A and B are shown apart, each in its own frame.
Chain A
Amino acid sequence: MPRKRDKKTEVQRSRLMLNTEEAQQNDFLFFNNTVLMQGLALTPVIAAATTLENAVILAIAGAVLIIPTRILGDVTVGRIKTRLRIIFYTVLSALIMVPDMIFLSRWFKGSFVSVGLYVPLLFVDGAVTWRASVAQREGTRHVFRNAVSTALGYAFAICLTGTVREILGKGTVWGVQIFGKAPFSVASMVPGGFLITAVIAAAWQGITRFFKKIIFSGGKSE
């Protein structure tokens, strides 16, 4: 009898592990963060997210592109040849980009200009187009969740980097002075963008590794 119970517990445990693993694979917010773990959408993060406001503009612009492109792109699997699907993805995101830019320029006015060419450049970013090379359908239920997760992961990473860079590079947060003098002014430049994104990515990688260890060791620490 105890042996039977042990077997049942074992099956339940392996099922739980499988579900956890699947959940991790589809989590683009934390475990597979679009920017900090997958290395996608690095261009706007490194070059243009020098302040929180810039980061918010880029986050909205990117999220508006990622969600519909990924959902509609999933419908094309099997209907358009995999090698040609990239055309569908880029033309669709370029089409969405036109109203996206018009509304963002109205909302953010001067700040939108300071982001420069990095908003229009988003239409062809890896975060938007990478699914074009995948020949498997995600399915209606998963595609929406994954699209939102990817967009949120990107938005969170860019806002985090933008905030850190603004504090270090200008000594402000959303324009509000925190330090009298910028502690590390190179943070506002591209080399600083590489450096700070690297440090944040390393911290992120360390934290996810720690959580994975906890999950897979069943709460027992070594």
Chain B
Amino acid sequence: MIKEFISEFSEMIMIGLTGAFLANITLCRAAGLDRIKNIEEDSDERIFCILQAVCSLLSSVAFWFAERYISIPASLLEPFGVSEYYSQVYLWPLLIAVVTAVVFIIVFIVTVKVAPYDKVTSAARQLPFAAFNNFAAGVILVSASRQYGLIEMIVYTAGANIGYIMANMMLREGNRRLQSREVPAAFRGLPAKLLYLSGLAIAFYALTGHSLSSLL
């Protein structure tokens, strides 16, 4: 009993660590990069990260339930040569869009009622892009493709959000230095940020056992 618990607990920790560090969804899968170009102009990054974490967690849970009860009849896509497994996979984007829309509306209503007065406008402005972005959808797609159970999915999503916040913080910190006049004109802005992320990604790759000689 205790052995089983310890083994399951350590497995959960491993899943969480995978989401946060070992397969950081931003640095090792390049998801959630839509905001990087304007990251320095937006001072409400903290609100965005909180909203994104809430939305992605709720969407993951909602998707897990929806995926169990909604499916395309295999016979419908059989004429197109689609197998039963893939007919379900092709439904994922639509399911994600619908569950995220429901979560978005709920979070929007709650945010308007609960958020402090001075933060409401910023939160309402950020919410659409915190709920609908390729980070949140990517987390769900990765968990679904790995056929995670409900708890595993929640742990992975939480880990991935920690990983995103970490990558975001490192990018914001590095961004101050990237604005230096010493950066060549052609590299200023997006190229410099991508170069910086490239260095960070190599560092994260090292965590998964890659060495410099295996990369080159």
A interface residues with partner B (beta carbon < 8 Å): 36-40, 42-43, 46-47, 83, 86-87, 89-91, 93-95, 97-98, 101-102, 105-106, 117, 120-121, 123-126, 129-130, 132-133, 184-186, 189-195, 197-199, 201-203, 205-206, 209
Contacts and interface: CB of A to CB of B under 8 A. Distances in A.
A47 B139 CA distance: 15
A39 B132 contact: no
Given A124-B97, A124-B133, A194-B195, A132 B128 contact: yes
A165 B45 CA distance: 32
A90 B132 contact: yes
Given A43-B33, A184-B216, A198 B198 contact: yes
A129 B97 CA distance: 12
7 contacts: A43-B30, A120-B92, A123-B137, A129-B132, A189-B205, A190-B205, A202-B187
A205 B185 CA distance: 9
| Residue among A39, A46, A129 facing the most chain B CB atoms (10 A cut-off) | A39
Interface in B90-139: 90-94, 96-98, 100-101, 104, 108, 124-125, 127-129, 131-134, 136-138
Nearest to B128: A86
Contacts of B98: 91, 94
B30 A47 contact: yes
Contacts of A40: 34
Contacts, number: 168
Interface in B14-59: 27-34, 36-37
A198 B191 contact: yes
Interface string B190-216: 111111011101100100000000011
Contact of B94 (A94, A194, A199): A94
Ordered nearest first, which 7 A-B pairs have the shortest CB separation?
Answer: A39-B37, A194-B198, A198-B194, A126-B34, A206-B186, A94-B97, A202-B191
Nearest to A87: B101
A194 B30 contact: yes
Contact of B93 (A83, A120, A192, A193): A120
Contacts of A126: 34, 133-134
A97 B85 CA distance: 17
Given A47-B30, A98-B93, A186 B216 contact: yes
Contacts of A201: 190-191, 194
B97 to A, nearest CB: 4
Nearest to B104: A87
A40 B81 CA distance: 33
Given A123-B137, A125-B34, A209-B186, A97 B93 contact: yes
A43 B34 CA distance: 8
A50 B189 CA distance: 24
Nearest to A123: B93
A117 B145 contact: yes
Contact of A39 (B36, B81, B82, B199): B36
Contact of B29 (A39, A106, A132, A190): A190
Given A98-B90, A184-B216, 16 more contacts: A43-B34, A83-B108, A86-B104, A102-B82, A105-B86, A123-B93, A124-B93, A124-B133, A124-B137, A133-B128, A190-B27, A190-B28, A190-B205, A194-B194, A194-B197, A194-B201
